[in-house]
Amino acid sequence: MKMSIMKKLCLNGLSAICGVLFLTGPSVAYEINHKLSIGGVVAGIYQYDSLSDSPGFDSTGRGLLAIQPEVSFTPTGSDELFAKFGFGAGNGLMEEGKSPFKLAPWGGDTQDGVKDINGRGRDYLLTAWYKHTFTFGDDHTLGLTGGIIDATDYLDENAFANDEYTQFMNCALVNGPHCFLPSYDLGGAVEWEIGSFSIKGAAMALGTNAEQGEFEEPYNFYGLQFGYRLDFGLGEGNCRLLLDTTSDDFSNVAGTKKERLSSVSISFDQQLGDVLGLWLRFGWQDDEAAIDYKDSYTAGVNISGSLWGRDCDNIGIGYAHLRGGNLDVDKTDVFEIYGRFAMNDIFAITGDSQYMKDFYKNGSDDPSAWIFGLRATAEF
């Protein structure tokens, strides 16, 4: 007799959670001195997908362990040298050929994702950069960064939907899936903040466009974000406009011409008192190149644990609707709800449920699934 989904989820997820507990110990935060510190994140994740209308794919449960240590050296108050590494065991439900969906139910790095990064032949070193900050006043700064960077550290921010380790797990609710933000390659970033206004930009040279055969080649990425911080008296909020594009190194649908990727995104987040937070993220992408999704519309609610006397806990509820581009997907819907329980300042456990459904243009089966997950995270 088959065990129930939830029983299987709990039993298989236990090993990932225990692994994080073992690695974490009572406290792993360590500041060597006032200039040198080490930190990072360790996450054990298990997800089980109960599939429907998915011929050739079976319902399954898979786990992974992700470890990302980092080191920071600040020789002066204006300078910082930083490096982050990524190690992993397992690919979870993101194992190649094991999922019928276009989107990943977890938006983080996997075992395969930290090897031969962007076709550079580099393993495990995710970011390594130098930053200098010019301070012109109490609320006026300019930061310049160069090295191996991650565009998502500077662009497409959102207070409640931006971190797969502590917030939503599905990649559609972590960053806008229409705006193709690259990670872990050569580039530079600018961060200019003056009062409530901010302008951030990133430019990167990527080793591969991830196309196959003769169409694979390097490309460049450029992103620019305008932000404004506001406060209505109920709590802090943010409004951001993101413009990003690439060099013309991506194939069109017919494979006869090279085009550039371009998109526009709008992101809002607003705290409403001590308990409630709301967020929105909308985006539109040009379809001259071959793309899976043209538009995305996501929104959600964050409920603080202060409602039940635990400020560090929270519940997140999010929904994403994505309209297909010029390939085979017509639309995708994602719904996710999670509850995060903080055991202390370092360790937290999250229970997560997702519903995903892809609709295709060619009249084939439209796969759907309930995905149940457990995530244990240690941040130090």
Distance CA 104, CA 156 (A): 18
The CATH number of the domain covering residues in 5-37+46-379: 2.40.160.10
CA angle 144, 145, 150 (to 5 degrees): 135
pLDDT (0 to 100) of residue 262: 97
Distances (CA, A) of 337 to 38, 62, 169, 241: 32, 20, 9, 26
pLDDT (0 to 100) of residue 275: 96
| Helical segments of the chain, H only | 5-24
Residue 373 · residue 169 · CB < 8 Å: yes
pLDDT (0 to 100) of residue 330: 96
Identify the CA nearest to 92 among candidates 319, 351, 367, 372.
372
Identify the CA nearest to 165 among candidates 110, 125, 108.
108
Distance CA 284, CA 261 (A): 11
Six token digits for residue 360: 């295709």
The H or E element that residue 56 is part of is: none
Query: What would the DSSP string read from start to end of 296-342?
Result: EEEEEEEEEGGGGT-TT-EEEEEEEEEEE-SSSEEEEEEEEEEEEEE
CA-CA-CA-CA torsion sign (304, 309, 313, 315): negative
Beta pairing, strands 219-231 & 258-259: unpaired
Cα 39 to chain centroid, rounded:
19
Domain ranges of the chain: 5-37+46-379
Q: What are phi and psi of 233, to 5 degrees?
A: 95, -15
Distance CA 316, CA 80 (A): 33
Six token digits for residue 127: 């970011």
Residue 63 · residue 44 · CB < 8 Å: yes
pLDDT (0 to 100) of residue 233: 85
Residue 118 · residue 150 · CB < 8 Å: no
pLDDT (0 to 100) of residue 329: 95
Q: What are phi and psi of 24, to 5 degrees?
A: -80, -50
Residue 164 · residue 108 · CB < 8 Å: yes
Question: CA dihedral in degrees (151, 156, 157, 161; nearest 10)?
Answer: -110
Half-sphere exposure of 76 (CA within 13 A, CB side): 8
3-state secondary structure of 147: strand
Query: What is the full per-residue pLDDT of the chain (380 aa) written as tens digits?
Result: 444 444 444 445 444 444 444 444 444 446 778 899 999 999 999 999 999 999 989 999 999 999 999 999 999 999 999 999 999 999 999 988 888 999 999 999 999 999 999 999 999 999 999 999 999 999 999 999 999 999 999 999 999 999 999 999 999 999 987 788 999 999 999 999 999 999 999 999 999 999 988 889 999 999 999 999 998 888 999 999 999 999 999 999 999 999 999 999 999 999 999 999 999 999 999 999 999 999 999 999 999 999 999 999 999 999 999 999 999 999 999 999 999 999 999 999 999 999 999 999 987 789 999 999 999 999 98
Q: Which residue has the tokens 């995903």?
A: 356
Six token digits for residue 111: 């075992």
Identify the CA nearest to 40 among candidates 88, 4, 3.
88
Question: CA dihedral in degrees (12, 14, 16, 19; nearest 10)?
Answer: -140
Distance CA 89, CA 110 (A): 7
3-state secondary structure of 375: strand
